[in-house]
Amino acid sequence: MGKKGILAVVSGFSGSGKGTLMKELMSRYPQTYALSVSATTRSPREGEEEGREYFFKTKEDFEKMIAKDELIEYAKYVENYYGTPRAYVEKKLDEGMDVILEIEIQGALKVRERFPDTLLLFVTPPTAEELRARLIGRGTETMDVIKSRLDRACEEAKGMGAYDYLIVNDDLNDCVEKMHAIIQGEHQRSSRNEEFMRKIKEDLNSLKGED
């Protein structure tokens, strides 16, 4: 049951450690999860590799992808495009792998519009106090830096309620296992197993017919 992969979007507060969390999830369960790689028109930074951090595209190529509906969602930040290529996601889902997208709330909501079964996970520190500590830092940041982090966190917090689950990042190990348990548990949602239920009902009816 629930053989088709689940599309899971992971977002979270900046500094919630979700990058590390994703890497650990992939390395523990490489047969279960596939991490979607975004396409972008921004230039590669030192150490970044084509197809690992991003698929690097020219603006022209990216706009062709948009026109041909090859992206599940895309957005423009500071003159650069970022988007999620559709082909890879659909291929992995069909293979039965759970696909993880690490994107922000606007993208998350667009993905869910397109794939209503998308699971939305939001990574957060365990308490408001800890979030506060991460935002303020050690008192060595300028007011401007803190203000811009606060603004961003406020924006992120506004969207939290739209997510299905909050993943509390207290301890990396626990957090990876919690995320794994939640995604695997979702495979057993009855709404994801319509075919299984239909088959059982059909079988029972045909057994009654044989009486």
Q: Which residues are paired to 167 by β-bridges?
A: 123
Per-residue DSSP letter, 106 = H
Query: Does residue number 52 form part of the binding site for a copy of itself (CB under 8 A)?
Result: no
Total of chain residues touching a copy of itself, rule CB under 8 A: 49
Dist. CA 164–CA 39, nearest whole Å: 26
160 binds a copy of itself (CB under 8 A): yes
DSSP per position, 55-79: EE--HHHHHHHHHTT-EEEEEEETT
> Does 147 interact with a copy of itself (rule: CB under 8 A)?
yes
Give me the least distance between CB of 208 and a copy of itself, in Å please: 5
38-40 and 33-35 beta bridge pairing: unpaired
Which parts of 182-211 interact with a copy of itself (CB under 8 A)? 182, 184-185, 188-190, 193-194, 196-197, 199-205, 207-208, 211
Q: Which run of H or E residues covers position 124?
A: strand 119-124
Q: Would you tell me which residues interact with a copy of itself (CB under 8 A)?
A: 1, 122, 124, 126, 128-129, 131-132, 135-136, 143, 146-147, 150-151, 153-154, 157-158, 160-161, 163-168, 178, 181-182, 184-185, 188-190, 193-194, 196-197, 199-205, 207-208, 211
